[in-house]
Amino acid sequence: MKILITAGPTREYLDPIRFLSNRSSGKMGFAIAKAAAEKGHSVTLISGPVTLDTPPNVKRIDIDSAREMLAAVQQELPEQEVLIMTAAVSDFRPRIMTHHKLKKATMPAVIEFRKNPDILKTVQPEKGNRIFVGFAAETDNIFLEATRKLNEKGLDMIVANDITQSDAGFGMDTNRVTLIYPDKEPEHLPLMSKVDLGVKLIEIIEAMREEPQPIG
């Protein structure tokens, strides 16, 4: 299969030095990319700023902002069969980005923000027979929030995890997730390495691809 994966955080700049971001390390997305490439799939990895090496036989595209990630996804998606969105995309960006460093004396006390585009919702009309997989990193009402995102974005599966756990989530080498589907019961997976979880997810997606696909 041709698989497109997003990973890591995005950065939304206030000035050339300061930015809004999050704690995503990119480890989960890179683990999935590695697992997919090792199984012989053609893998394109769109990554925000991370300190990880590119897995062998993976095409990597580096971006900074949410809008750059959206543009890269739109550019690559037509040739892909699967989209896996593990990236922790910033929901908002500063309304104004200055091209010079803001000085302490002139730094605004209140910063206004604009909403960033929701990448999965934006490209949903292009889904067709493609498999779309999302991730939901939550702290509260995890099942309800993940299910809402699954339905709202028309996903085939969403991977939900509680990022308040000390052994799972951002920056960890392990993860404990629940797989939520639109048409069957959730699947609770035990704590495992992100490498092993990457292999598991690729196996599930391979099985999805083998299932009969609707026409149109």
Q: Which residues are catalytic?
A: 22
Place of tokens 């009309």: 125
Rounded distance between C-alpha atoms, residue 117 and residue 46, angstroms: 16
Each as own residue / partner, the long-range contacts of residues 23-27 (CB below 8 Å, 24 or more positions apart, any chain) are 23/88, 23/170, 23/171, 24/48, 24/50, 24/87, 24/88, 24/170, 25/50, 25/52, 25/170, 25/171, 26/50, 26/52, 27/52, 27/171, 27/172, 27/173, 27/194
